Amino acid sequence: MSPAHPYSAAVEAVLSALQAGTEPARHELRDAVRALLSDLAVRAPGRSVEVRVPPYGAIQCVAGPRHTRGTPPNVVETDPVTWVELATGRLGWEQAQRSGRVVASGVRTDLSAYLPLL
């Protein structure tokens, strides 16, 4: 994944579509998710938490014990639109968890200190 630019065209296009109440183009949503995941990996280096945004990407981030085999003990999973909303500050971490839009398991999975990214 390439490094994220805070004002990447894909992120802007997805945010514009969401603002207009339309569905973002699939390729723009994919590129926005990957850019924002890359930005999180830079801002929270490490390998103790796996962040999954199927079907577009997954990263390991956050300092702590490194996971090497089997199912990671600290996993965050969400859908692409929710990830873009979280990463850009349009949705809060606690609200996303309460509503079930984010599933987080493990003691290191609170990403609220790193979000929003922009």
Rounded CA-CA distance 24/57 in Å is: 17
pLDDT for residue 73: 86
- Indicate the domain borders of the chain: 9-105
pLDDT for residue 1: 46
Looking at domain 9-105, its CATH class is alpha beta
Here the tokens at position 7 are: 């004002």
Strand partners, 28: none
- pLDDT tens for the chain, 118 residues long, are 444 445 689 999 999 999 999 999 999 999 999 999 999 999 999 999 999 999 999 999 999 877 667 777 899 999 999 999 999 999 999 999 999 999 999 999 999 999 999 7
pTM for the full predicted model: 0.90
